[in-house]
């Protein structure tokens, strides 16, 4: 029986097949068949070839003027200087000295205009690539990436959000893609709740119980299999896989030196966990740093917040590069909007969706580029204006997902991304 809720589109032509194709192209054939992949070195190479994505969400609204698009010595620029980076001619805020040293691995989109200043709506737009409407609910980026890269070969979750209070529960962010692709929300360094088998249940008893369950499920599915029963089976298999591999969530497995390099605070641990998860074949990981909603004391808050963000983020990029993962991993730093060029009476900046920035780099991206520009005061976009839809298409194309195609769900076709817009073609590698 064919489950019509499963995606039958070409978006499942993922990196595993691309890797097999590259091997065949380079050697003419894979000698000895697929047994070649049983070798540890080959398995490691195959793992590195699979695409992944890390999103760093700067919750609350990061100020572009104190980060990616500084305007020093202007009435809107604030007190901080801009500094040169590893990319000649590119300057960012002095609050990001470590990131400045690795800018050759990143690109900046400085012409973002979503024309929105609401936290909820802005977050929805940036995470779904569409504006919220009563007519439809859309899946978030993590769900789309998880489904688009799903070859059906792993029971591990493909969409993980690392938060300060995550307990292993599932989010409600996959819309019509179904619960398989909704996020699992984890606390940094802790395995999902209830992922340890009871000490009273021995190995042989657990194996016999699982064998009996499989027999019962198979007998049932021969007569009454549905999409819903398949979802239950998949959920159980994922839980069993998580129990078997729960060590991938355990930051105690990382060295003391790595903990020191990333920093003894939540964001540092979350960056380290993001690295660990993509190293262990999780396609999409989102971590959050907050709170950038600086209506008061914008400059003091950004001094503290970006001081905490800068080194762990630069360390994450450096580690991905050094471990051969960056060329297969897309990293995006985004927010729900930027902050006003005008400084208010409380030395703060308010919500601003008309001219702000997003940073990204890695697989599929022309690193070291700057796309778009704002005027001298940062009040409006003057070159290559883009919105959330352009960015969403760009992320997916960089990941090898054909964003102009459709997902087929239950006999209906759903555009993967907003069909009215295109990716930022000049940013794609």
pLDDT of 342-372, one tens digit each? 999 999 999 999 999 999 999 999 999 999 9
Domain 52-190+250-427 listed as CATH 3.90.1150.10: no
Tokens of 244: 């078997």
- Domain ranges in the chain? 52-190+250-427, 192-249
What tens digit of pLDDT does each residue of 291-347 get? 999 999 999 999 999 999 999 999 999 999 999 999 999 999 999 999 999 999 999
Q: Is the pLDDT of residue 244 over 80?
A: no
Q: Where are the beta strands (DSSP E) in 139-208?
A: 159-163, 167-170, 184-187
Amino acid 136: pLDDT: 87
Tokens of 164: 């300060």
Q: Is the pLDDT of residue 170 over 70?
A: yes
Spatial CB neighbours of 247, under 8 Å, sequence gap ≥ 6:
191, 253
Q: Please answer whether residues 9 and 401 qualify as being in contact, where contact means their C-beta atoms are separated by less than 8 angstroms.
A: no
Amino acid 209: pLDDT: 78
Tokens of 18: 């691309």
Q: What three-state secondary structure class fits 121?
A: helix
Q: Which of 89, 117, 142 is nearest to 352 (CA)?
A: 117
Amino acid 192: pLDDT: 64
> Rounded to whole angstroms, how far apart are CA atoms 26 and 200?
52
Amino acid 215: pLDDT: 83
Q: Is the pLDDT of residue 74 over 70?
A: yes
Q: What three-state secondary structure class fits 331?
A: strand
Q: Is the pLDDT of residue 44 over 80?
A: no
Q: Is the pLDDT of residue 28 over 50?
A: no
What tens digit of pLDDT does each residue of 108-145 get? 999 999 999 999 999 999 999 999 888 889 999 999 99
Average model confidence (pLDDT) across the chain: 85
According to DSSP, the residues that pair with 428 across neighbouring strands are 365
Q: Which of 402, 372, 312, 281 is nearest to 11 (CA)?
A: 402
CB atoms under 10 Å from CB of 246, counted, come to 14
Q: Please answer whether residues 377 and 76 qualify as being in contact, where contact means their C-beta atoms are separated by less than 8 angstroms.
A: yes
Q: Please answer whether residues 174 and 143 qualify as being in contact, where contact means their C-beta atoms are separated by less than 8 angstroms.
A: yes
Its pTM surpasses 0.85: no
């Amino acid at each position: 029986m064919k489950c019509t809720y499963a995606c039958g589109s070409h978006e499942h032509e993922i990196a595993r097949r691309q890797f097999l194709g590259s091997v065949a192209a380079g050697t003419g054939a894979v000698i000895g068949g697929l047994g070649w992949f049983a070798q540890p070195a080959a398995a490691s190479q195959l793992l590195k070839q699979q695409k992944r994505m890390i999103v760093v969400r700067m919750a609350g609204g990061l100020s572009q003027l104190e980060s990616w698009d500084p305007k020093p010595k202007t009435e809107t620029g604030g007190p901080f200087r801009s500094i040169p980076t590893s990319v000649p001619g590119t300057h960012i805020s002095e609050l990001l000295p470590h990131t400045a040293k690795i800018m050759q691995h990143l690109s900046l989109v400085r012409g973002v205009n979503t024309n929105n200043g609401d936290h909820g709506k802005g977050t929805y737009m940036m995470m779904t690539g569409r504006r919220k409407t009563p007519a439809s609910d859309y899946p978030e980026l993590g769900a789309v990436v998880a489904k688009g890269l799903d070859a059906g070969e792993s029971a591990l979750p493909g969409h993980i959000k690392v938060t300060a209070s995550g307990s292993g529960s599932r989010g409600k962010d996959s819309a019509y893609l179904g619960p398989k692709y909704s996020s699992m929300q984890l606390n940094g360094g802790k395995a999902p709740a209830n992922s340890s088998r009871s000490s009273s249940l021995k190995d042989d008893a657990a194996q016999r119980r699982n064998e009996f369950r499989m027999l019962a499920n198979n007998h049932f599915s021969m007569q009454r299999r549905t999409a819903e029963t398949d979802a239950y089976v998949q959920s159980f298999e994922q839980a069993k896989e998580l129990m078997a591999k729960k060590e991938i969530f355990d930051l105690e497995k990382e060295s003391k030196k790595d903990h020191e390099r990333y920093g003894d605070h939540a964001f540092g641990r979350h960056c380290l966990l993001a690295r660990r998860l993509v190293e262990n074949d999780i396609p999409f990981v989102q971590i959050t740093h907050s709170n950038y909603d600086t209506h008061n004391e914008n400059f003091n808050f950004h001094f503290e917040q970006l001081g905490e963000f800068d080194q762990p983020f630069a360390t994450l990029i450096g580690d991905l590069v050094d471990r051969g993962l960056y060329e297969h991993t897309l990293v995006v730093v985004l927010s729900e909007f930027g902050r006003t060029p005008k400084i208010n009476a409380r030395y703060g900046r308010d919500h601003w969706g008309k001219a702000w920035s997003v940073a990204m780099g890695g697989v599929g991206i022309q690193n070291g580029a700057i796309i778009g520009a704002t005027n001298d005061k940062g009040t409006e976009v003057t070159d290559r204006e883009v919105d959330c839809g352009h960015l969403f298409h760009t992320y997916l194309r960089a990941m090898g997902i054909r964003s102009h195609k459709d997902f087929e769900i239950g006999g209906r076709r759903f555009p993967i991304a907003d069909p009215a817009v295109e990716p930022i073609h000049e940013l794609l590698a």
